[in-house]
Amino acid sequence: MHLPCPCCGPRDLREFTHKGADDYLRRPAPDAPPEAWDDYLHTRANPAGRTRDLWYHDPCGTWIAVTRDTVTHAVIGATGLEDAQ
């Protein structure tokens, strides 16, 4: 599998660290109710199919949001986090 790093171009899977679904980008407000934090930290749509998840390109330190398919492993695209919000 190769992922497109916005800095470095397509790179091999072994250079990346996976964090999880892009839910991690939608951090609740500090005073949001506990349910919102529970949801944010733990609950996942976990789709069989198209997903968007977060990866760290270790060599260059860039976090990216990758759109890909969890069933076929097809990689559709990726952006840096600034564009992913």
Partner 1 sequence: MRFNALRVLKEGLTGNRGWRPHWRKPAPKPEYDMLIIGGGGHGLATAWYLARNHGVTNIAVLEKGYLGGGNIGRNTTIVRANYFLPGNSEFYSHSLKLWEGLEADLNYNVMHSQRGLINLFHSDGQRDAFARRGNAMLAQGDDAILLGRDELRTLLPCLDYDQARFPIYGGLYHKRGGTARHDAVAWGYARAADARGVDLIENCEVTGITVNAGKVIGVTTSRGEIRARKVGIVTAGRSSQVATMAGLRLPIESHVLQAFVTEGLKPCLDHVVAFGMGHFYISQSDKGGLVFGGDLDFYASYAARGNLPTVEHVMEAGMTLMPMIGRAKVLRSWGGIMDMTPDGSPIIDRTPIDGLYLDAGWCYGGFKAVPASGWCMAHLMATDQPHPVARRFRLDRFATGELLDEEGTGSQHNLH
Partner 2 sequence: MKRRATGGSALTRARKLGFSFDGRNLQGLQGDTLASALLANGVRLVGRSFKYHRPRGVLTAGSEEPNALLEVLRDGVFHPNVRATVQELHMGLQARAQNCWPSVRRDVMAVNDLLAPFLGAGFYYKTFMWPRAFWEGLYEPLIRRAAGLGRLPQTPQDAPHERAFAFCDLLVIGAGPTGLMAALTAARAGADVIVCDEDRQFGGRLLSDTGQIDGIAGADWAAQVVTELHALPNVRLMARTSVVGAYDGGVYGALERVALHVTAPGHAPRECFWRITAQRTILAAGALERPIAHPGNDRPGVMLLSAVASYWHRWAIDPGRVVVFGNTDHALATARALAADGMNIRAYVDPRTDLGTDAPFALRAGAEVVATHGRHGLGAVTLRQKGRDIRIEADTLALAGGWNPSLHLACHMNGRPSWDTAIAAFVPRPGMVPGMDVAGAAAGRFSTHAALHDGARAAAESLAELGLTSPDLPLPLAEDAPYAIAPLWQVAAPGRAWLDFANDVTTKDVAQAAREGFASVEHMKRYTTQGMAPDQGKSSNMGALAVLADATGGTIPDTGTTTFRPPFVPVSIAALGAGGHGKSFAPERRITSDAQVRAMGAPMLEAGLWYRPSHFPQAGDRDWRDACNREVLHVRHAVGVCDVSTLGKIDVQGPNAARFLDFVYTNTMSSLRPGRVRYGLMLREDGHVMDDGTCARLGEQHFLITTTTAAAGEVMRHLDFVQQAFCADWRVRLGSVTEHWAQFAVAGPLADDLLARVLDVPPALPFMGCAGVTVGGVAARLFRISFSGERGYELAVPARFGAALFRGLLALAEGMGGGAYGLEALNVLRIEKGFVTHAEIDGRVTAFDLGMAGMVSAKKDCIGKAASQRPGLHGPERLQLVGLRPVAHGTEIAAGAHLYAPDAPATAPHGQGHTTSVAYSPTLERWLGLALLRDGRARHGSMMRLDDGLRGRQAAVEICNPVFFDPDGGRMRG
Q: Compare residues 12 and 82 and give the one whose CB is closer to partner 1.
A: 12
Three-class secondary structure of residue 21 per DSSP? strand
Burial class (CB in 10 A: 0-12, 13-18, 19+), 55: buried
75 binds partner 2 (CB under 8 A): yes
Cβ neighbors of 17 (< 8 A, separation 6 or more) are: 55, 56, 58
What is the nearest approach in angstroms of partner 1 to the Cβ of residue 28? Answer: 13
Which residues contribute to the site for partner 2 (CB under 8 A)? 1-2, 13, 17, 19, 24-25, 27-28, 30, 32, 34, 37, 41, 54, 56, 58, 61-63, 72-75, 80-82, 85
